[in-house]
Structure 1
Amino acid sequence: MNLPIRLIWLLCLLASPALAQDSFRMELGRDGETIGDMRPVFLKFEARSLPDISPAEVARRYRALFQSSDEPEVRVDALNRLSNLRDRSGRDIGYSIEDEQRIYQEVLGSYESILARGSFSGRLDELLYQMAKAHALTGQSEESIERLKQLVGLYPKSGLVPEARFRMAEAAFAHGHYEEAEVHYQALLESGESGGLQAKARYMLGWSQFKQGDVAWDRAGQTFLAVLDEFLPSVDSLASIAPSSVDTIDDTFRVLAIMAARRDGPATLAEWLEGTPSRPCAYLLFDRLADFFAVNGDVEASVATNLYFVRYQPEHPHIPLFLAQVVSVWEQAGHQTRIREAKASYLARFAGDPEYSRLTGKEQSRWRTYARELAEVHYRQGTSLLEANPQGAGQAAFARAAGYYESLAARVDDAGPEFRLAGDARLQAGDYAAALANFRQSAYQTDDHAEGADAGWAGLVLLRDGLDGALNGPGFRPDLSTLSDETDRFRSRYGDDARLPGLLADIASRWLSAGQLEAALGYASAAASHGLSSTRERYVAWQVVAEARQQQGDYALAERAWQQVLQVTDSAGNGPEIRDAVTQQLATAIYRQGERAASQGQVATAVRHFQRIEPVLPNSELAISGRFDAANTLLKASELPTAIRELERFRQDFPGHRLSDRISDKLVHAYAESGQPLRAAEELLSQADTAVEPWPLRLRAAELFHQAEAWPRRNPIYSSYLATGPQVADADHHVQLQTFRHRLIEAGVDEQRLRAELVRSELASQFHSQQTLTWAARSSLALGARAAASFSAIALTAPLDAALERKHKALELARQRFLDAERLAGEQVRSESLYRRAELYRIMAQDLMASSVPAELNELEAMQYQMLLEEEAFPFEEKAIRLHSENHQRISSQGYDAWIGKSLSALAALNPGRYERAVRWMSWIPETSDDV
């Protein structure tokens, strides 16, 4: 889990040769069971370079001198030189450590003897140093330290003081006197005369501080950071670490991690680094701390440390490695949710193009791997949720998967498959607009790939489902034009796709349903002509062509298309009912051609089309209608003989068909138009025999009989109808009834009764016409004349009262008839009415005067009776004169007519003095022009 520094150290170890300058190396041990047991890795000492003479030869000479001399000074000097030679050369010179310990045990007396005499030809500081060494080698550590202290105290300027201080500090450290060790190490560092021991002293100073516990850890932290600064002063130094320094550096990182872990973790490191966060090794400190936590099973702390550094130095180039390390920690711990979250954080951190572009190639590959893994994880999660609960479950998971697929698609060379997967995930998430965009990207905006056609097809299915209402979401309201455009796009790129003909046929059907016939024809034609169309697809396509042509009114092309449909109907897997329906449509197309030809006056063509239906669809309703329409077309074209023949043949062939009920009407028309009113009337009477309402038919027949002047056939119909007592419904009906009565009166059928009915109906009706008023007025005059004749025939005989009463009633009856005539016809009959009413009074007066005197009266009584009669008659005569005079006066307003003339003749008889004169009556018409 370490960052690449470990690999760098290993390479350095393998590449660099072992140094030969070390004088000796002391292993102080590794970690104990507790923090207090921990020891630095090693203490190593280096000296100056050796001369060119062979160390073995020099050692041989010094051994000989040591063995042959009895002088303490000589023996001590020779022994010192042998030790220095071995330490500085690092070679086996035939003088082992065991030999040295034995010899030093022997020579301790010499050292003591020399010091006791106070005379030594060499340097006493070196003698003290060698004595300290001898004591150390013989196990007399206290004596050794005492000699080192003497050396430091007596010869503070000696070149051996740094090493002496170091060994004093080392001894204090070994005995657990860490405060003392810290003082010695600190003194060594502050002296500035380290003799090459400065790095080791600083390193051990840190350990001394560390071993004192938490109270000294802040000092230890700064000391160890100084150690790292010395070993790793720059970024370049991280790549060129000496193999001899690897363990020291590693141990420094280790102890810093331990201290930080025992405190506040990464916050402690940040505190120690305060003011110098850009140290080249700073990121390695956090890395080592994260490792420490991970190795000790504290996963949360390890992750927190990595994330702390991400926040601490957000622009550091190794941020991707820290985030990736978080993923690794969670993977080792087996926390799948945290693994996904960590990968998501990594992806989010470098989601932007600038951030992603700064990643190394390996890191970009990791980013893509994470994106694909998370996309697949969330897709599987969404699938599981959807299977458990189909009602919208898993949409959020699918949406997350889609986001990762989309991000991945933007950063791979072959983006097509990724966009297709993104589209599928968006579809499952219910984001249909985004799904469509992804499918389009995959199908049309990337290089060709194996899944391109499937992506394009998925987009088409998505649009189709949206159009059908199966899918509905924000920003997703596809219409048929959108689906058509997408189909065209798919056809342009994947024209050889076997699914295309079915799609084209479906689009054609949809445009047909929408009433866009040209569009429907275009797609249907493309489907029918496609080389991969199945029989079923050709069936649908030709059906659309046929229906579109039929709706366009191009029935000839529709007929040909229906024939194509009929050819593939059976092979398309349709049953007999479908074949019958297609045949019906074919027959309909032929029928429509007949209708159009008939409307355009192309009689022969229309009849031919109508008659072509029967061979296509024998005995069908349409074939029967065709024959009917053929006859009807002939009838409208006034080809009456042929029409009559076809109509009669139709009724004979289809006697029970509903259209046969209409044949009779058409035959009536044909007979009437061809000059055969009697046959037409007979046809109507035949209809009436079975009709629910026979009278309309009978009256139409009566009218035809009237036209043919077949009065004997007409009159019984009129009489029978009037006998039913029909109630007047409207003005036309009133006129019709009055016409029937008038015609019967003219024919001499029951005149008196019909005249009375005619007058009574006219007077009682609210509907009138000039003709009916005239007819009623004339009938009323005729009835009045008949009543006047009856009135005149009544003789005034005894008993006079009874006879006079009868005559008076007859007068009133006649008079009312004349008044009714005036009421009906007005000025048209007023002259006659006035004359006839006046004559009634004149006759009444005349008959009164002429009535017989009762025989039992004497002469005087008879004369009185006669005077009484004259008194009774006089008012009647006056009324007669007044009415005739009124008629006379009409000359000035109405002009002269025969009835006025008759009134003048009557006046001449009644008042000869005034009216009996020769007079010529002329009508005077004033001039209308001003020119005279």
Structure 2
Amino acid sequence: MRGLAISRKFAGSVMISAILVGNAFAQESFRVELGQDGETLGDMRPVFLKFESRPLPAISPEEVARRYQKLFEHSDEPEVRIDALNRLNNIRNQSGSDIGFSYEEQAVVYEEVLGSYEDILARGSFSGRLDELLYQMAKAHAHTGQHEESIQRLKQLVGLYPRSALVPEARFRIAEAAYASGDYPSAETGYRQLIDSNVSQELSTKARYMLGWSQFKQGAQAWPRAADTFMTLLDQQLPDQARLANPPVSGLDMIEDSFRVMALMASRSGDARTLVSWFSGRSDAAWHHLVYDRLADLHALEGHYARAVAINAAFATRYPDHPASAEFLAQSVAFWQKAGDGERAREARAGYVARYDSESEYRALDLPQQATWRDYARFLGDYYYATATELYAAGRSANAADAWSNAAGYYEVLADHSGSAGELLHLAGDARLQAGNPAQAILNFRRAAYGADYERAADAGWAAVRVLESRLDPQAERSALTALSEEERRFGAAFSGDERLAGLRADLANRWYELGDYDQALNYARATLTLEGAAPDQRYAAWLVTARVRQRSGEFGLEERAWRQALTLVEQVPSLEGAPGESERIRGQLATAIYRQGEKAAANGDATVAVAHFQRVSSVLPGSEVAIKARFDAANTLLKAAQWQTAINELTRFRTDFPDEPLAREVSEKLVYAYRESRQPLRAADELLRGAEQAPDPWSLKLRAAELYHQAGATQDRNALYRGWLAIAPGPQNGADHLQQQTLRQRLIESESGPDLGQLRQALVAREADSRWHSDQTLLWAGEAALVLGAEAAESFARIALVHPLATSLTRKQRALEQAQGYFLEAESFAGEAVQSEVLYRRAELYRILAKDLMASEVPQELNELETMQYQMLLEEEAYPLEERAMELHSRNHGRIASHGFDAWIERSLEALADMHPGRYDRELRWMSWNMEGSDDV
């Protein structure tokens, strides 16, 4: 209960109790306690008020009272004693102090003087005013317990002296007596008459107050009149906000009592509806809200908390813009707390926060109310956060998400009105994140980090980073990674010294690299490395990304540097190895980077630099595949640079150092090339033969070696290889094979002598005859070989003598002729015009020799002379066609002069013709060339 204070919760109105400090009335705060002040409404009684009739003297009241008390005690005259007593009572009443006679002493004193009053009144000898005497007699009767007599005296005073200044007080006492005796209608009439008469404002106020009580005591049917009376009284006492803030001290009890009685009446009727009916038709007064307040307090004191809250709600609904509405809603929270209903108290807090969550509504609250609003919002945020945590632990994720959302909502709205906005937004972000709303969580974290004076701003900013980071998957989209990068830039700009920044940048470098944006990856790797506080693992990751980016861009020198830095770190901090053998893999990458520099220099034609790079690879990763390849490429580079001997040396060492390497099989070919280019064909050929020893197809190398022997003039070595190949060579599969084999045979024929030449020529002729692939060269070679074979056959033919028996020797000779003739015809078919003159000559000579030999053949001995003649004639007949055939062929050869010119074989044909037909051909001839110049003058 609040006591006499009009309101302890309205900052716009100074509490009335505050002005009573140091005043005796402050110790008499009124309380509604039915158990002590009556069990029923009828038992309730008002506080009786004191009245002052005269102004106090200028001297001390205690001193004046002392003097009048002394006069009363020492005077023997009744009039004097009565006058002194009268003045003494006036002083007591005006000062309000307990001075003069005590209560017990007054009873004795009035008992003593009562007789004097009666005597004086009977004698009519009183020198003073009789109205005052009647008033004092009434008072004396009252002090001696003679209340009826006291009222009679007052009624006498009113009846006899209606214009006396004491009449208003007399009427008041008469009405008060009726009230005290329970005659409330009479009391009401008396008080109303007093109000309607021309009395002082003070007495009128007291009468109106008692009028209200008289009406109240008459029961519920008179309560509307009582309410109207009390409201009129309050309108007079508290006419405006200024008076409400500073109410009259003398009327505090009346004011508070009026509120109490109105609350009692409303509580026993229609509660807020009753108040609405009372206030209808009346202008809104400064004190209306206090009636609601007392009514709500009354219900709370009686334990009817729901009704008390309903009253608060009714006021806030009817007067939404009233400054006290916030206090009423806050009071509902206190009521539910007192009732032990935490859930409804929480709902009341939520209603309060929701009612004033807009900026304008919040700003309209006074400072204490704003503090209350903040307390409620923080309470609700913390409550829902704790509840969400419990629900989540219990496996109720969906419910937990709703609770976290509620918590976040309160933290967010509170942040706009709190000095700890950063902390609240940080909490709100966490709650939003737990509720499954990462986008809103990020916004809260950002506000906490970058828009508030918050000591943990960096943590809030980092929380936003982590949220975005958690939303990335291994196949992160560019948009998501871009958002994280923007968040990093925001965080880095605000918290450049934060130790977590290096890890984030290293991670972003890797992510951008995986996404294929190498410029971004390189930028973040560089940003990581420039941070002084970057940890070894972060620097290691950054160097790895840098190395890979440089590798892709072909900046192999920078790539080498990055790999070396990474290798140094992993060697210094072995724990950086993410997997076994990682340092070796880095070495491999480093070696490759050096190797690529060598490749690049070689491509640019800088052999010296290229070889230097290639040779450095072994110092990084000796014996590795890339080191071996670098050694090999160093030699290749030297070859391309035409540094033949240096290349030969490198190749030779490579084969010696790495005999089992696949690349070693290429060394031989490269050495051959180097030897050839450096004009060392014999060494090139030897190298080929060395390679042939291990080759699956040795003859391709041997033939190449043979060609090199041929170029070097090493005919013997060459021919040995030729013979070996021709001995096993399969039939030609194409024109190249045919040309190769025929070339080898031709070279053997040209460079050798002996009985094997015939076989070579026969093979040459036979291969050409059987081949589908001819060339002018092979045909010429075959033709020449056939001519040689034909000439040899012709010689054999010529050596066969025709002896008896002629048929046998002639048959032999005929076969030899046919053989020679066949070769000559083959030669002509192969070589054509190139050998035709010789072929015609040699064919003709075969016939001429056969004819001549036939004529000179041996005559059988058993023939007689006639038979011999006949035999010779027969021989002539057989020889003649042969001779004619010979002359024909020679003549054809002779005829070639016009078309093909003169040559040695035509000349020999002419000689043969001259011998066979001297009349025609045996003459002096001079062969002249035809000159077209000057032919017109011939």
Fold conserved between structures, TM > 0.5: yes
1:44 to 49, 58, 70: 49
- The one-character-per-residue Cα deviations of 1:488-537 (angstroms, maximum 9, x if unpaired) are 4422xx3xx5555555555555566642275256324413xx2x455555
Instruction: Specify the alignment match of 1:250 in structure 2.
Output: 256
* Counterpart check, 1:605 vs 2:609: yes
Q: Is the 8 A contact 1:684 1:700 kept in 2?
A: yes
C-alpha change, 1:139 and 1:467, in structure 2 (3 Å) is: same
The alpha-carbon deviation at position 14 of structure 1 amounts to 2.8
Residue identity over aligned pairs, in percent, reads 37
Partner Cα distance (2:587, 2:478) in 1: 43
Partner Cα distance (2:504, 2:597) in 1: 32
Instruction: Specify the alignment match of 2:557 in structure 1.
Output: 555
* Counterpart check, 1:361 vs 2:362: no
Instruction: Specify the alignment match of 2:859 in structure 1.
Output: none
* Counterpart check, 1:673 vs 2:677: yes
Partner Cα distance (2:430, 2:649) in 1: 72
Partner Cα distance (1:35, 1:706) in 2: 147
Q: Is the 8 A contact 1:422 1:438 kept in 2?
A: yes
C-alpha change, 1:240 and 1:225, in structure 2 (3 Å) is: same
What SS does structure 2 have at the residue aligned with 1:555? helix
* Counterpart check, 1:14 vs 2:17: no
- The one-character-per-residue Cα deviations of 1:133-186 (angstroms, maximum 9, x if unpaired) are 779944769x969x9889989998887776676566556655656556555544
The alpha-carbon deviation at position 279 of structure 1 amounts to 0.7
C-alpha change, 1:607 and 1:64, in structure 2 (3 Å) is: same
Instruction: Specify the alignment match of 2:568 in structure 1.
Output: 566
Instruction: Specify the alignment match of 1:762 in structure 2.
Output: 772
Instruction: Specify the alignment match of 2:596 in structure 1.
Output: 592
C-alpha change, 1:689 and 1:261, in structure 2 (3 Å) is: farther
What pairs up with 1:841-880 in 2 under 5 angstroms?
none
Amino acid paired to 1:566: T
C-alpha change, 1:30 and 1:923, in structure 2 (3 Å) is: farther
* Counterpart check, 1:486 vs 2:491: yes
Q: Is the 8 A contact 2:69 2:84 kept in 1?
A: no
Instruction: Specify the alignment match of 2:518 in structure 1.
Output: 515
Instruction: Specify the alignment match of 1:298 in structure 2.
Output: 304
- The one-character-per-residue Cα deviations of 1:219-240 (angstroms, maximum 9, x if unpaired) are 3332322222222222222233
Amino acid paired to 1:640: W
The alpha-carbon deviation at position 326 of structure 1 amounts to 2.8
Q: Is the 8 A contact 1:29 1:41 kept in 2?
A: no
C-alpha change, 1:559 and 1:144, in structure 2 (3 Å) is: closer
Instruction: Specify the alignment match of 2:637 in structure 1.
Output: 633
What SS does structure 1 have at the residue aligned with 2:483? coil
Partner Cα distance (1:47, 1:150) in 2: 21
Partner Cα distance (2:394, 2:703) in 1: 82
What SS does structure 2 have at the residue aligned with 1:619? coil
What SS does structure 1 have at the residue aligned with 2:320? coil
Instruction: Specify the alignment match of 1:859 in structure 2.
Output: none
What pairs up with 1:448-847 in 2 under 5 angstroms?
450-466=455-471, 478-480=483-485, 482-484=487-489, 486-491=491-496, 494=497, 497-500=498-501, 502=503, 505-506=506-507, 514-516=517-519, 519-520=523-524, 522-527=526-531, 530=532, 532-537=533-538, 539-540=540-541, 553-555=555-557, 558-559=560-561, 562=564, 565-566=567-568, 569-571=571-573, 573-574=575-576, 577-677=581-681, 679-684=683-688, 686-691=690-695, 697=701, 704=708, 734-737=735-738, 739-741=740-742, 743-744=744-745, 762=772, 772=774, 774=776
Q: Is the 8 A contact 1:668 1:681 kept in 2?
A: yes
Q: Is the 8 A contact 1:755 1:776 kept in 2?
A: no
Q: Which moved more, 1:102-111 or 1:241-250?
A: 102-111
Partner Cα distance (1:302, 1:28) in 2: 17
TM-score by length of 2: 0.68
- The one-character-per-residue Cα deviations of 1:159-215 (angstroms, maximum 9, x if unpaired) are 777667656655665565655655554455455668854334433443344444444
Q: Which moved more, 1:428-437 or 1:707-716?
A: 707-716
C-alpha change, 1:715 and 1:355, in structure 2 (3 Å) is: farther
* Counterpart check, 1:325 vs 2:331: yes
C-alpha change, 1:924 and 1:329, in structure 2 (3 Å) is: farther
- The one-character-per-residue Cα deviations of 1:670-723 (angstroms, maximum 9, x if unpaired) are 233333445445544554554556666566556656656777877898899899
- The one-character-per-residue Cα deviations of 1:795-844 (angstroms, maximum 9, x if unpaired) are xxx9xxxxxxx9xxx9xx999999999xxxxxx979999xx99xx9xx9x
C-alpha change, 1:922 and 1:266, in structure 2 (3 Å) is: farther
What SS does structure 2 have at the residue aligned with 1:655? coil
The alpha-carbon deviation at position 285 of structure 1 amounts to 1.4
* Counterpart check, 1:274 vs 2:280: yes
Q: Is the 8 A contact 1:628 1:659 kept in 2?
A: yes
C-alpha change, 1:269 and 1:627, in structure 2 (3 Å) is: same
Amino acid paired to 2:518: G
What SS does structure 2 have at the residue aligned with 1:762? coil
The alpha-carbon deviation at position 280 of structure 1 amounts to 0.8
The alpha-carbon deviation at position 634 of structure 1 amounts to 1.7
- The one-character-per-residue Cα deviations of 1:360-418 (angstroms, maximum 9, x if unpaired) are 33334444444444443344334444444596874444444445445555445565555
Q: Is the 8 A contact 2:595 2:617 kept in 1?
A: yes
Give the number of equivalent residue pairs: 845
- The one-character-per-residue Cα deviations of 1:309-339 (angstroms, maximum 9, x if unpaired) are 2222222223332233233223333444444
Instruction: Specify the alignment match of 2:321 in structure 1.
Output: 315
What SS does structure 2 have at the residue aligned with 1:5? coil
Amino acid paired to 2:526: G
Q: Is the 8 A contact 1:444 1:452 kept in 2?
A: yes
Q: Is the 8 A contact 2:266 2:274 kept in 1?
A: yes
* Counterpart check, 1:377 vs 2:383: yes
C-alpha change, 1:87 and 1:593, in structure 2 (3 Å) is: closer
What SS does structure 1 have at the residue aligned with 2:49? strand
Q: Which moved more, 1:575-584 or 1:232-241?
A: 575-584
C-alpha change, 1:50 and 1:396, in structure 2 (3 Å) is: same
Partner Cα distance (1:258, 1:476) in 2: 70
Partner Cα distance (1:661, 1:511) in 2: 43
- The one-character-per-residue Cα deviations of 1:86-117 (angstroms, maximum 9, x if unpaired) are 878876558866558968998999999999xx
Amino acid paired to 1:637: A
C-alpha change, 1:197 and 1:788, in structure 2 (3 Å) is: same
Partner Cα distance (2:347, 2:74) in 1: 74
C-alpha change, 1:785 and 1:228, in structure 2 (3 Å) is: same
Provide structure 2 residue ranges, at least 5 long, that are not aligned to the other structure.
Answer: 9-13, 27-31, 58-63, 750-756, 798-806, 808-814, 847-884, 911-920, 922-926, 933-938
What SS does structure 2 have at the residue aligned with 1:478? helix
Q: Is the 8 A contact 2:336 2:344 kept in 1?
A: yes
Aligned CA-pair RMSD: 6.7
Partner Cα distance (2:583, 2:240) in 1: 91
TM-score by length of 1: 0.69
Provide structure 1 residue ranges, at least 5 long, that are not aligned to the other structure.
Answer: 20-26, 69-74, 116-120, 764-771, 799-805, 822-827, 844-876, 906-915, 926-932
Instruction: Specify the alignment match of 2:7 in structure 1.
Output: 5
Instruction: Specify the alignment match of 2:236 in structure 1.
Output: 230
- The one-character-per-residue Cα deviations of 1:854-881 (angstroms, maximum 9, x if unpaired) are xxxxxxxxxxxxxxxxxxxxxxx9xx9x
* Counterpart check, 1:65 vs 2:78: yes
